[in-house]
Amino acid sequence: MSMGSPDRNHKKKITLIRSFYYAISGISSAIKSERNLRIHLILSLLVIFLGFAFSITSIEWLIIVLVLGGMLCSELMNSAIERVVDLATEDYHPLAKQAKDIAAGAVLLFAITSLVVGMIIFGPRILSILPL
């Protein structure tokens, strides 16, 4: 069974490395240009700090990681959709507006979901330390 030539395997490794480079470059570009992504990153750091401060459980960490990752991914996808729509047309078009609005709506829906998850996990802990 042939495993391929060493040259071909080397090219696959370079292609894989290049794809990681492009992905990291895209994330970096979005962080520099997207205010909302920077806000989500700052809030993510706050949530991670709270997770350590309140010693949340492993299951809660899994949920938090999934929610934070999903939120950041949805923000990146929204930015990509906005760029593609802007590239497709400079003129106002109702479908272009609708595509952008739907993508923004997806981010908003995920943000609300993330907030609810955060309230469920952190709410009781925060209330327990408040003098009532």
Query: How far, in Å, CA of 56 to CA of 65, rounded?
Result: 12
Catalytic residue selected from 60, 75, 82, 90: 75
Q: Which amino acid is at 73?
A: C
Count, residues in the chain: 132
Name the DSSP letter for residue 89: -
How crowded is the C-beta side of 40, counted as CA atoms within 13 Å?
Answer: 23
Place of tokens 């400079």: 90
Is 82 a catalytic site residue?
Answer: no
Report the SS3 class of residue 117.
Answer: helix
Q: Which residues are catalytic?
A: 75
